[in-house]
Homo-oligomer: A and B are copies of this chain.
Amino acid sequence: MGLIVQKFGGTSVADADRIRNVARIITDTYRKGNRVVAVLSAQGDTTDDLIAKAAEINPNASKREMDMLLSTGEQISCSLCAMAIEALGCPVVSLTGWQAGVQTDSHCGNARIKRIQADRVRRELDKKAIVIVTGFQGINKYDDVTTLGRGGSDTSAVALAAVLQADLCQIYTDVDGVYTADPRYVTGARKLDEITFDEMLELATLGAQVLHNRSVEMAKRYNVNLEVISSFTGNPGTKVKEVVKTMEKTHISGVAKDKDTARIALVGLADEPGIAFKVFSLLARRGINVDIILQSIGRDATKDISFTVHKGDLAAARAALEENRELFHFDHMDVNDNVAKVSIVGAGMINNPGVAARMFEALYSANINIRMISTSEIKVSVLVDQQEADRAVQAIHDRFFNEVKD
């Protein structure tokens, strides 16, 4: 008994049968005495179809008009889902982003939620209605429709759960939950019953594409209890919480890989104060996120700085650095986009100094060379050659999870 926000992604509402399935999940929850707010994405390929329509007419269409176009996708899935719920005999109302009071900034195509004035949602809940809300969208202060960008529907759901002080926010998806590693690639990967926000954040950022990190960040900030759960199997999913009650026997919760990374090395930089500041503030001004950074002393009073960027930012980063070659006085730039980042994540790590060593040992045993290392309180990442990535994940996973099982 409580208030539950349920989010369903595009594959979960892809056709009439799946919409009926989602309607059943929602009405089952409602009939158990819960108040239910459901947040839906657009159906399957709708968004891609709309983008193709736009591209045929104007490949350089403004983001404002793109958002006007794309926001229809969720309006369609939500009204259809409401009709399916009507057919099951429950009171229901579908609301667009603006009707649900989702107010964003003005960055069309990648807007951020500023606040949700949820009066209408609350009023409908008080009238015992199931409320279906379009994910991924809101309006800015000019009343223009905006979309939230990647992971937007997850963010909509978590934001609504925060504002409504929901007891639980369930993210229904096409996987069973959060795994210790990607089960498509790693034998022995197993589902976690629970995971902390911080661990989930690291996993999300590191390429476990279950939840977008924006939504996890928000859930952590407002302490929204999340659950990642499959809309197909009906099995219990993974709970994401501030503190996990039953600590896992292992100290790490998962192994993740990220192939969308590239390494840049600036070799032979002048060894003068502020050079790192200049390099990274330049990249920041260009909107380029830098991940692992490594600085080492070079020869002849020079130093080398290596760092990784998202592959999509590589060209921009190279250009920015080349333009400022005079300023930075580096000897040459070395770029490698044939790398992958492999990471272990676990809140238990900080109190167990042997964890990193155990990871390195697993890689050594598998004869995999480590190119860079980065650590945080709950994470250890290493950069390896891309063709070694899957083997590296398996080796690490075996070491941490399968040995424990023995």
- Report A's interface with B, CB cutoff 8 A: 16, 19-20, 50, 53-54, 56-58, 60-62, 64-66, 68-69, 71-72, 75-76, 78-80, 82-84, 86-87, 93-94, 96, 98-99, 120, 143-145
Contacts and interface: CB of A to CB of B under 8 A. Distances in A.
B80 A69 contact: yes
A383 B66 CA distance: 53
A50 B16 CA distance: 12
A83 B64 contact: no
A138 B61 CA distance: 26
B72 A16 contact: no
A68 B57 contact: no
A128 B20 CA distance: 47
A86 B65 contact: yes
A83 B65 contact: yes
A98 B98 CA distance: 10
Given A57-B87, A58-B87, 11 more contacts: A16-B53, A19-B57, A61-B87, A65-B79, A66-B83, A68-B79, A68-B94, A69-B75, A69-B76, A72-B76, A75-B75
A57 B99 contact: no
Contacts of A16: 53, 56-57
A99 B54 CA distance: 21
Contact of A99 (B80, B84, B143): B143
Contact of A83 (B61, B75, B79, B86): B61
A104 to B, nearest CB: 15
B50 A76 contact: yes
Contact of A54 (B75, B83, B120): B83
Q: Looking at A58, A76, A94, which has the most chain B CB atoms within 10 Å of its CB?
A: A58
Nearest to A71: B75
A69 to B, nearest CB: 4
A351 B64 CA distance: 57
Contacts of A54: 79-80, 83
Contacts of A99: 143-144
Nearest to A61: B83
A16 B98 CA distance: 29
A324 to B, nearest CB: 35
B64 A93 contact: yes
Contacts of A65: 79, 82-83, 86, 94
A20 B66 CA distance: 17
A71 to B, nearest CB: 8
B50 A68 contact: no
A283 B76 CA distance: 38
Give 7 closest A-B pairs by Cβ, nearest first.
A72-B72, A61-B83, A69-B79, A68-B79, A58-B83, A58-B87, A16-B56
Max count, chain B CB within 10 A of own CB: residue among A65, A80, A84, A87: A65
Contacts of A75: 68-69, 71-72, 75
A78 B71 CA distance: 13
A53 B80 contact: yes
Nearest to A99: B143
Contacts of A86: 58, 60-62, 65
Nearest to A53: B80
Contacts of A50: 76
Contacts of A76: 50, 53, 69, 72
A80 B80 CA distance: 23
A94 to B, nearest CB: 5
Chain B CB within 10 A, most for which of A54, A68, A80: A68
A23 to B, nearest CB: 8
A340 B69 CA distance: 44
Nearest to A92: B65
